[in-house]
């Protein structure tokens, strides 16, 4: 088997090498910005490498949970990529909460994950759901603690809120995040109380610190391209005293249905309705905030917060800081300063004088030449795929369906979908801390530098441990070989469909390889990998035909199809593929799929 060829340590080295050479080799496609015309392709025909299919599948890698033949056909039905984005923005939100409520109670963790996987695989509003996933890794909450673990309706509603705001305004998103009771619990803003020296109480600083550090302005002052100003002597965006001022602002909020301010157990309260003010617990004194903004004394809880959030929203760091995080989650880990600046400018003004328009920001991210034009990209372009995204890409690409014993849920081969963090090191809204599963500033290594001399970043590499690589490949091996529609098993896992692959291989190995190149690699598979796969298929076909001929000539000591050197004389390998037993063809298809998804190249989104 292919996975025995490389040790996992060697595979990790190849992953890093692939990342560093991310734009080298492979086929290329021309970019399609808002003015380029895309010709339609058919979902019924084998995919072929071309500018149009490369553009479509690269867009789907950035703006959905993975390409499918149908999704590629849908993208190419539109005259421009911008038209497809506008269509996606116009789609209604696919809500998770009603399905979670229908499946179980609020303490049942598994149903939220089951519904999320189903939505990620099947929902039509793919762009919105992909952006929601990105936002969930910026405005982080996690249900690992007891209270939120027993608040699955609230956790689900929080995710639905992110989805509903994916194309809204950042300022409103920031307020809805701040007032959601799940965030109130996670970063301890709910029932945050004004100082009381006699009772040894002071305002909690947790949310005040993280809303600045992680959600908005970051630690240091940035230029318009997202670079730290004076990197040798960076200028902090805020001080401890400023954290204390914002902590005073964020006092006086309680659960919407709470009759009291204090209680030993938070599990019984409303985790969906936004928190409500209780004026008597609010610090109504004057506060000095970011940019020297002063929130005067005597304001209500809501008015005080409005001024505070406005001061954050209007800070010049927000545009480059927040949009760079989105670019990293959707497109590339190392965006150029120009790319960040262009998108940040759209955040600052959408062209109609509106600041924080996320629909305009998402369009700017996806339509920028740095995202679209392959020929203009540097070796620093691209990103490692998050493990969840890699799994979803495989399931979507091969039209996965729940197994007959899976109760309609999509499970991986070795774990149910609520336990995939055991193998993937991540599961939605289940990060180990508010700092997400990985840092946006995690470097490839201490010596890998970009063109500007700064460390080359690979956030997802932080969880790409040797153990995770081995576990992931083992899971894909079990999924591909044991959980496909021809494996003949009643399964409680997701079942991929390999019928198209069998039909295409019958038509010729290049037909299969080109189709999978587009579907899994956006048509950018390296020439070297294509040669290896082609030779492997040809060798398997020739061996299989030789074996069949030997079986048919049991009384003959010499195989007529082998020359004196023991080498096959077949000139038409593809003809042999068309004639081989179905089980042999199926075996070749499965080997080809596994070699592709287990390869270092498949880990890289370009």
pLDDT per residue over 253-307, tens digit each? 999 999 999 998 899 999 999 999 999 999 999 999 999 999 999 999 999 999 9
- Whether the per-residue pLDDT at 16 is higher than 90: the answer is no
* Residue 579: per-residue pLDDT: 82
Mean pLDDT value across the chain: 90
Give the rounded percent of residues in the chain with a pLDDT score beyond 70: 90
- Whether the per-residue pLDDT at 216 is higher than 50: the answer is yes
Lowest mean pLDDT among 22-31, 201-210, 580-589: 22-31
Does the reported pTM lie above 0.85?
yes
* Residue 22: per-residue pLDDT: 44
CB-count exposure of residue 4 (10 Å: 0-12, 13-18, 19+): exposed
Q: What is the pLDDT of residues 62-111, one digit of tens each?
A: 999 999 999 999 999 999 999 999 999 999 999 999 999 999 899 999 99
Helix (H, G, I), strand (E, B) or coil at 568: strand
Ordered DSSP codes for 221-275: -B-TTSPBSSTTS--BS--HHHHHHHHHHT-SEE-TT-S-S--S--TTS-SSSPP
- Whether the per-residue pLDDT at 7 is higher than 80: the answer is no
Q: What is the pLDDT of residues 440-481, one digit of tens each?
A: 999 999 888 887 788 999 999 999 999 999 999 999 999 999
Report the alpha-carbon distance of residue 67 to residue 58 in Å, rounded: 8
* Residue 114: per-residue pLDDT: 97
* Residue 34: per-residue pLDDT: 42
Report the alpha-carbon distance of residue 472 to residue 489 in Å, rounded: 22
Buried residues in 98-109 as b, exposed as e (16+ CB within 10 A): ebbbebbebeeb
Give the rounded percent of residues in the chain with a pLDDT score beyond 90: 81
* Residue 122: per-residue pLDDT: 98
- Whether the per-residue pLDDT at 43 is higher than 70: the answer is yes
Band (pLDDT 50/70/90 cuts) for residue 439 is: very high
Lowest mean pLDDT among 232-236, 423-427, 567-571: 567-571
Lowest mean pLDDT among 169-173, 448-452, 564-568: 564-568
**Helix spans in 91-215 (H):** 97-103, 109-122, 126-136, 146-149, 152-164, 170-179, 181-186, 206-213
- Closest residue by Cα to residue 596 from 467, 498, 499: 498
* Residue 377: per-residue pLDDT: 85
Band (pLDDT 50/70/90 cuts) for residue 375 is: confident
- Whether the per-residue pLDDT at 349 is higher than 80: the answer is yes
Report the alpha-carbon distance of residue 464 to residue 472 in Å, rounded: 10
Report the alpha-carbon distance of residue 582 to residue 563 in Å, rounded: 27
* Residue 147: per-residue pLDDT: 96
* Residue 18: per-residue pLDDT: 52
* Residue 378: per-residue pLDDT: 84
- Whether the per-residue pLDDT at 545 is higher than 70: the answer is yes
Mean pLDDT along residues 598-602: 96
């Amino acid at each position: 088997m292919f996975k025995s060829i490389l040790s996992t340590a060697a595979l990790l080295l190849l992953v890093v090498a692939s990342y560093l050479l991310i734009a080298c080799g492979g086929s290329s496609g021309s970019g399609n910005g808002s003015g380029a015309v895309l010709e339609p392709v058919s979902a019924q025909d084998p995919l072929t490498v071309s500018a149009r299919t490369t553009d479509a599948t690269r867009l789907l890698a950035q703006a959905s949970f993975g390409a499918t033949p149908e999704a590629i056909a849908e993208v190419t039905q539109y005259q421009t990529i911008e038209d497809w984005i506008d269509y996606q923005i116009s789609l209604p939100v696919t809500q998770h909460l009603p399905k979670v409520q229908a499946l179980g109670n609020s303490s049942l963790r598994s149903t939220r994950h089951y519904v999320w996987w189903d939505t990620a695989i099947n929902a039509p509003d793919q762009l919105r759901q992909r952006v929601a996933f990105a936002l969930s890794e910026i405005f982080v909450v996690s249900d690992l603690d007891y209270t939120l673990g027993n608040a699955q309706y609230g956790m689900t509603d929080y995710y639905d809120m992110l989805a509903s705001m994916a194309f809204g305004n950042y300022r409103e998103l920031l307020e809805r995040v701040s007032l959601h009771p799940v965030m109130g619990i996670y970063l301890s803003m709910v029932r945050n109380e004004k100082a009381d020296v006699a009772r040894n109480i002071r305002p909690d600083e947790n949310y005040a610190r993280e809303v600045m550090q992680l959600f908005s302005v970051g630690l240091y002052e940035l230029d318009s391209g997202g670079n730290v100003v004076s990197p040798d002597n960076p200028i902090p965006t805020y001080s401890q005293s400023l954290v204390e001022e914002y902590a005073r602002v964020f006092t006086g909020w309680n659960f919407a249905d709470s009759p009291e301010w204090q209680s030993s157990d938070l599990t019984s309260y409303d985790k969906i309705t936004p928190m409500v003010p209780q004026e008597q617990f609010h610090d109504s004194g004057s506060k000095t905030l970011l940019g020297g903004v002063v929130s005067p004394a005597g304001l209500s809880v809501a008015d005080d917060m409005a001024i505070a959030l406005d001061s954050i929203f209007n800070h010049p760091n927000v545009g480059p800081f927040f949009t760079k995080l989105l670019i990293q989650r959707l497109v590339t880990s190392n965006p150029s300063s120009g790319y960040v600046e262009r998108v940040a400018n759209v955040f600052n003004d959408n062209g109609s004088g509106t600041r924080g328009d996320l629909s305009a920001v998402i369009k700017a991210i996806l339509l920028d030449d740095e995202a679209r034009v392959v020929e203009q990209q540097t070796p620093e372009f691209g990103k490692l795929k998050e493990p969840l995204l890699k799994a979803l890409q495989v399931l979507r690409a091969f039209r996965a369906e729940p197994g007959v014993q899976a109760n309609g849920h999509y499970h991986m081969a070795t774990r149910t979908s609520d336990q995939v963090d055991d193998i993937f090191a991540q599961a939605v809204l289940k990060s180990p801390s508010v700092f997400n599963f990985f840092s946006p500033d995690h470097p490839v290594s201490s010596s890998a530098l970009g063109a500007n001399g700064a460390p080359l970043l690979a956030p997802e590499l932080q969880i790409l441990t040797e153990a995770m690589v081995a576990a992931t490949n083992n899971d894909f091996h079990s999924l591909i070989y044991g959980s496909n529609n021809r494996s003949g098993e009643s399964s409680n896992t997701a079942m991929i469909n390999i019928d198209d692959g069998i039909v295409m291989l019958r038509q010729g190995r290049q037909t299969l390889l080109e189709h999978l190149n587009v579907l899994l690699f956006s048509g950018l598979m390296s020439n070297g990998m294509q040669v290896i796969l082609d030779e492997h298929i040809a060798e398997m076909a020739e061996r299989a035909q030789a074996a069949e001929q030997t079986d048919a000539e049991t009384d003959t000591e010499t195989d007529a199809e082998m020359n004196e050197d023991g080498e096959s004389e077949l000139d038409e390998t593809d003809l042999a593929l068309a004639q081989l037993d179905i089980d042999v063809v199926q075996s070749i298809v499965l080997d080809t799929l596994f070699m592709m998804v287990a390869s270092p190249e498949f880990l890289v989104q370009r």
